Amino acid sequence: MIDTGHPPEQMRFQLSLRRRGISDARVLRAMEEVPRDRFVDPTDRGYAWRDSALPISCGQTISQPFVVAYMTEQLQLEPSHRVLELGTGSGYQAAVLAKLVRGVLSVERYRTLAETARARLEGLGLYNVEVMLGDGLDLGSNLGVFDRIIVTAAVETLPQSLIDRLDDGGILIAPVGPHHGVQTLIRMRKSGGTIERRELVAVRFVPALPGIAREL
Ligand code: SAH
């Protein structure tokens, strides 16, 4: 047998992403390089390479790998890009993004999650990600604009404050729909003052809630 250096479950993981239609070689490589087992609760390590969402602290979830790969592919990233993520959670999606672009700013409303994710990302040597404790639904113009925005918590409507953070020519992707139900992944492209909106697939994300969480 040829030894690829990857345990069988990681090989199955890659294969399932390809089979489900992820074809961008850079995205597949980033998914291969980020050790998902470092982003799940220690008790869930055995499930890390399965294609399913898993619970993390603060009642939140780490997204399903296929959805992470799909959203990343739909962002059409270039190495020069600066990306904004709303909803750091475990930091897994931020790590995948960090492999592909110049800089990532990821915003999280739970202090515990932000601190854990920050430590994990640093531990992996991903110094081009900044994790910020804050409310991603209420970002100030002092942050400037981003080439790409990815929202990884469900919004009932897209807040204008977020659309305003998207540069001209930029792409924003977000799950839009009811908080406790099925949302539609929306891809929005800004170009020359016009906004083009496309509905992609049905997804399920935990809700985006306003303000910094009062609990840890
Ligand atoms: N991208 C994450 C999964 C996100 S789960 C990963 O790869 O693991 C959604 C996250 O969004 C949760 O951690 C939740 O606390 C956070 N969130 C919800 N509303 C938010 C808001 N207004 N601002 C910042 N983060 C928010």
Query: For residue 1, is pLDDT > 60?
Result: no
- Beta carbons of 91 and 120 less than 8 angstroms apart: yes
- Pairing state of beta strands 194-203 and 129-133? unpaired
Tell me the pLDDT tens digit for each residue of 103-130. 999 999 999 999 999 999 999 999 999 9
Whether 57 is a known active-site residue: answer: no
Give the chain's domains with CATH numbers: 8-203 (3.40.50.150)
- For residue 37, pLDDT beyond 80: yes
Ligand 1: distance of its center to the CA of 46 in Å?
23
**68 token code pair:** 């992470």
Average pLDDT, integer, range 185-193: 95
Q: What is the pLDDT of residues 133-183, one digit of tens each?
A: 999 999 999 999 999 999 999 999 999 999 999 999 999 999 999 998 999
Q: How far is the CA of 43 from the centre of ligand 1 (A)?
A: 21
Lining ligand 1 with CB less than 6 A are 60-63, 86-87, 89-90, 92-93, 107-110, 113, 135-137, 152-153, 206, 208-210
9-36 average pLDDT score: 95
Among protein residues, the one whose CA lies closest to atom 2 of ligand 1: 89
Q: Which of 63, 141, 161, 191 is catalytic?
A: 63
